Amino acid sequence: MFREFTKGFFRENPIWCLMLGLCPFLAVSVSLQNAVGMGAAATFVLVGSNAFVAIFGRFFPKKIRIPCYIVVIATFVTIVEMVMGAYLPALDQSLGIFIPLIAVNCIILGRAEAFASRNPILPSILDGLGMGLGFGFALVIISFIREVLGSGKLWGITISSYFSPDGIIEPAAVMVMAPGAFVVIGLLIAFRNWRRAKAVNSEQ
């Protein structure tokens, strides 16, 4: 049971391993605040939709199960959007269209189809929680790197006078652009693959 939770962090991480959800990743990983907000929103939707599909999925007609899943996911996304708009308006405005687009995120639909529809509720909840937190974890790491190097800030706060146009280190503007996101994720995936290859070689 614990394995269903941890696989989202390591073996089947949506970003590191499956390369899913890259559209919001590119857009919102420019700041740590956005990353935490998107990760929390995606986790809530994943857990809610997985639980609902695990309970009621068998009642969905087989030929229209995918549209049914999307309706379920869109319902949870609407809840997130309304709560965020009411209590976290600044974050809601910052994330913009990418909150509604969670409804068509391939990570969430994929977990509903590949896992929740075929498993009991508890493993489905753990799967959704692990995948959501794994997605958020990857976003936080990438956002940390991009925000520090791209703007010299952390959580929107300037971390050092060194990172300024007049300081010793001028922020690399490319890091807050889409190419910077690809560079960061490429290097992190390469590092992960190198560590895995090193571990395999040491076992042989």
pLDDT digits (tens, 9 = 90+) for 135-164: 888 888 888 888 887 777 777 667 765 555
Rg (CA), the chain: 19
* φ/ψ (deg, to 5) at 50: -60, -45
SS3 163: strand
Read off the pLDDT band of 168 (50, 70, 90): low
Nearest C-alpha neighbor of 48 from the set 23, 66, 69, 19: 69
Structure tokens at 156: 């929107």
Q: Distance between CA atoms of 111 and 107, rounded to whole angstroms?
A: 6
What is the per-residue pLDDT for 75? Answer: 92
In this prediction the pTM is: 0.80
130, two tokens: 């692990």
| Residue 110 near residue 146, CB atoms below 8 Å | no
Other Cβ atoms closer than 10 A to 111: 29
